[in-house]
DNA sequence: ACCTGAACACCGTTCAAGT
DNA sequence: ACCTGAACACCGTTCAAGT
C-alpha cells in the first residue's frame, strides 16, 4: 500500500519536449511561491496552475494529485539538505570530534535558517496552522514550571538559569518529536530516551557553576 | 489579525443547557476519533458531525470553522501536557539536578508515547502527509554520511558509534525544528544554536572510549 | 506530444425553518 | 435554546476536444 502511494506521488510522465520541461519547472516554482506567500491552506490546484501560467489539466499530466505537489517540493528540499550534510561530513573526515560536532550543527542550522519562510512552510503541522498562540501559552507555562524547579536544585546553581532552561526544553521537546517522525522501532526509541537523559545531564554538568 | 483569528477559533457560544454540553463533547470526541482513524486529510466536517451524531449545522453553532476543531483538540492536548509537566516539576523541587533532568525527560517522553496515535496525528506536518519514504531516504543518507565521518575522528573512538550517531542526529534535527516552532527572536535562536554545540560536545565527551 | 477548460463529485459554510 | 438539512460557492480531478 505504501508502495502504491509513493508511485502515485511520482511524476506521471517525464517531459519529452522542451516546452514540457519548462511547464514542469513553472509548476514547481509556482507551488513554492504559493506555499510561502499564501500558506498551505490556500494552496489550491487552480491557484498553482494560474501562477504557473498553465491550465489545471496540464498540471495533472505531471502531478497525479495535489499531494504530489507537496511531495515534489519536499523531495527537492530534502535532496539539497542531504547533499549539504554529506559534503560537510566528507570535508571534516579525520578531524577532532569537537570540530565534527560543530560542523554538523552549523551546517544543519544554516541550511534551515537560510530560507526561513520555506522551512516554516514545510514545518507547519496540520494541527498547528493557526495555533501559534496556543504553543506560546504552553511554552510559557512549562518554561516557568521547570525554571522554578531548577532554581531549587540542592547541588547546583547556574550563572544563566534562563538560558539553560530554554535550551533543555527546546532540546527535550525537539528530540522527542524528531524520534517520532523517524518512526523508529520501539527499541531505538527506548535507546534515544536513555541517551537523551545522559546528554542533558552531561550538559548541565558543563553549565553549572563550579565550586570555588 | 492574529487576535481576530484566535477569537474566531474559540467556541462560538458556550452550552447553556445539558444537551448542548453533551453535543460539544460528542463533537470533540468525534474529532479525535476521525483524526486518529482516518487521518487529517479525511477529517471533513460532515464526517465529524456524522460520527458525533449531529447535523453539520449544529457543529457550526459551536465551532466557527474546521480549523477550530483542530484548535480545540490541540488546546486540550497541550493543557493536559502542561499540567503533567507542571506537577512533575513541583514534585521534584529541592532534589539534585540530575534527578530533575531525569524526571523532566521521563514525564515528557511518557506523555508523548502514552497515546502515540494521537501524538502522531497532531505531529504530522502538512508537507509530510504521505512523505514517510522521503524522510526515510533522507535519514539513511545523512546517517551514513555522519557515521562515516565520526568513524574517522582523530581523537576519539566510540564503543557504540551507531547509537551515538543516531542520538546526535535526532537531537540536532529535533532541536532546530523545536527552535523554529517556538518562533524565537533572533538572539534566542543564536543562543540555542551555540548551546546545542556545547551540549553535543558534552555528550560525546561522556560517550567516548576513555584512554586506558 | 502537449495543452485546454467545461463538467462532476465532494467539501466547507450558511440560514431559513423547525422543536 | 438548540437542532436540522437543503442550498451555494469553491476545490480536486477528469476527459473529450483541440494544436
Q: Render pLDDT for B10-44 as a digit per residue (tens, 0 to 9).
A: 767 666 677 788 899 999 999 999 999 988 889 99
Q: Render pLDDT for B34-87 as a digit per residue (tens, 0 to 9).
A: 999 988 889 999 999 999 999 999 999 999 999 999 999 999 999 999 999 999
Please state, in angstroms and rounded to a whole number, the distance separating the CA atoms of residues B1 and B183: 17
Contact A54, B114 (CB under 8 A): no
Q: Residue B208: beta bridge partners?
A: B158
pLDDT category at B96 given cuts 50, 70, 90 is: very high
Residue A199: predicted pLDDT: 98
From the list B20, B34, B82, the residue with the least C-alpha distance to B11 is B20
From the list A119, A120, A164, A165, the residue with the least C-alpha distance to A145 is A165
- Number of Cβ within a 10 Å radius of residue B43: 22
* Residue A158 DSSP code: B
Is it the case that residue B193 has pLDDT exceeding 70? yes
Contact A66, A81 (CB under 8 A): no
Per the structure, the residue whose CA is closest to nucleotide D15 at C1' is A57
Instruction: Count how many Cα atoms sit within 13 Å of the Cα of residue B107 in the half-sphere of its side chain.
Output: 22
First CA to last CA distance, chain B: 63
Contact B74, A165 (CB under 8 A): no
| Cα torsion B30, B34, B136, A183: sign | positive
Please state, in angstroms and rounded to a whole number, the distance separating the CA atoms of residues A7 and A1: 10
Q: Do B201 and A101 touch (CB under 8 A)?
A: yes
Residue A41: predicted pLDDT: 85
Q: Do B197 and A105 touch (CB under 8 A)?
A: yes
Q: B125: helix, coil or strand?
A: strand
Residue A27 CA and nucleotide D18 C1' are separated, in Å, by 22
Q: Which residue has the higher pLDDT, B125 or B22?
A: B22
Vertex B189 angle, CA B185 and B195, to 5°: 145
Residue B130: predicted pLDDT: 76
Is it the case that residue A4 has pLDDT exceeding 50? no
* Residue B154 DSSP code: S
Global confidence as pTM: 0.92
Is it the case that residue B135 has pLDDT exceeding 80? yes
Residue B7: predicted pLDDT: 44
Contact A104, B196 (CB under 8 A): no
Q: Render pLDDT for A107-125 as a digit per residue (tens, 0 to 9).
A: 999 999 998 888 888 888 7
Please state, in angstroms and rounded to a whole number, the distance separating the CA atoms of residues A83 and A88: 8
Is it the case that residue B1 has pLDDT exceeding 50? no
Least confident of A128-142, B20-34, B60-74, B114-128: B114-128
pLDDT category at B125 given cuts 50, 70, 90 is: confident
pLDDT category at A168 given cuts 50, 70, 90 is: very high
Q: Do B142 and A182 touch (CB under 8 A)?
A: no
DSSP calls for A61-110: HH-SSHHHHHHHHHHHHHHHHHHHHHHHHHHTTTS-HHHHHHHHHHHHHH
Average pLDDT over residues A191-205: 98
Is it the case that residue A47 has pLDDT exceeding 90? yes
A130 closest CB neighbour out of B67, B113, B154: B67
Average pLDDT over residues B138-152: 98
Task: Please state, rounded to an integer, the average pLDDT across all residues of chain B.
Answer: 90
By C1' distance from the Cα of A66, the closest nucleotide is: D12
Is it the case that residue B212 has pLDDT exceeding 80? no
Residue A9: predicted pLDDT: 72
Q: A50: helix, coil or strand?
A: helix
* Radius of gyration (C-alpha) of chain B in whole angstroms: 22
Largest distance between two CA atoms of chain A: 75
Which of A196, A208, A211 has the highest number of chain B CBs within 10 A, making it the mutation to test binding with B? A196
Vertex A203 angle, CA A198 and A204, to 5°: 105
Residue A5: predicted pLDDT: 37
Is it the case that residue A46 has pLDDT exceeding 80? yes
Residue A125: predicted pLDDT: 74
Average pLDDT over residues A169-185: 94
Please state, in angstroms and rounded to a whole number, the distance separating the CA atoms of residues B160 and B145: 16
Q: Cα separations (Å) of B24 from B33, B68, B78?
A: 14, 13, 19
First CA to last CA distance, chain A: 63
Residue B39: predicted pLDDT: 87
* Angstroms from A147 CA to nearest CA on chain B: 9
Is it the case that residue B5 has pLDDT exceeding 90? no
Residue A48: predicted pLDDT: 96
Residue in chain B closest to A203 (alpha carbons) equals B199
Is it the case that residue A169 has pLDDT exceeding 60? yes
- Number of Cβ within a 10 Å radius of residue A79: 14
Average pLDDT over residues B194-208: 98
Residue A2: predicted pLDDT: 33
Q: Do A67 and B104 touch (CB under 8 A)?
A: no
Amino acid at each position: 500500500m505504501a508502495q502504491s502511494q509513493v508511485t502515485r506521488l511520482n511524476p506521471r510522465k517525464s517531459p519529452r519536449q522542451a516546452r514540457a520541461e519548462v511547464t514542469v519547472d513553472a509548476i514547481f516554482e509556482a507551488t513554492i511561491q504559493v506555499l510561502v506567500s499564501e500558506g498551505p491552506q490556500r494552496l489550491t490546484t487552480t491557484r498553482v496552475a494560474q501562477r504557473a501560467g498553465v491550465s489545471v489539466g496540464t498540471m495533472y499530466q505531471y502531478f497525479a494529485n495535489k499531494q504530489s505537489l507537496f511531495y515534489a517540493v519536499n523531495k527537492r528540499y530534502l535532496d539539497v539538505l542531504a547533499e549539504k550534510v554529506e559534503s560537510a561530513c566528507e570535508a571534516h573526515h579525520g578531524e577532532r570530534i569537537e570540530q565534527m560536532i560543530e560542523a554538523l550543527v552549523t551546517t544543519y542550522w544554516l541550511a534551515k535558517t537560510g530560507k526561513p519562510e520555506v522551512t516554516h512552510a514545510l514545518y507547519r503541522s496540520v494541527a498547528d496552522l493557526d495555533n501559534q498562540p496556543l504553543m506560546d501559552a504552553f511554552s510559557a507555562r512549562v518554561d516557568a514550571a521547570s525554571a522554578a524547579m531548577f532554581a531549587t536544585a540542592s547541588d547546583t546553581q547556574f550563572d544563566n538559569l534562563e538560558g539553560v532552561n530554554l535550551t533543555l526544553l527546546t532540546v527535550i521537546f525537539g528530540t522527542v518529536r524528531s524520534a517520532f517522525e523517524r518512526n523508529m522501532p520501539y527499541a531505538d526509541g527506548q535507546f534515544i530516551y536513555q541517551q537523551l537523559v545522559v546528554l542533558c545531564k552531561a550538559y548541565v554538568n558543563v553549565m553549572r557553576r563550579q565550586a570555588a
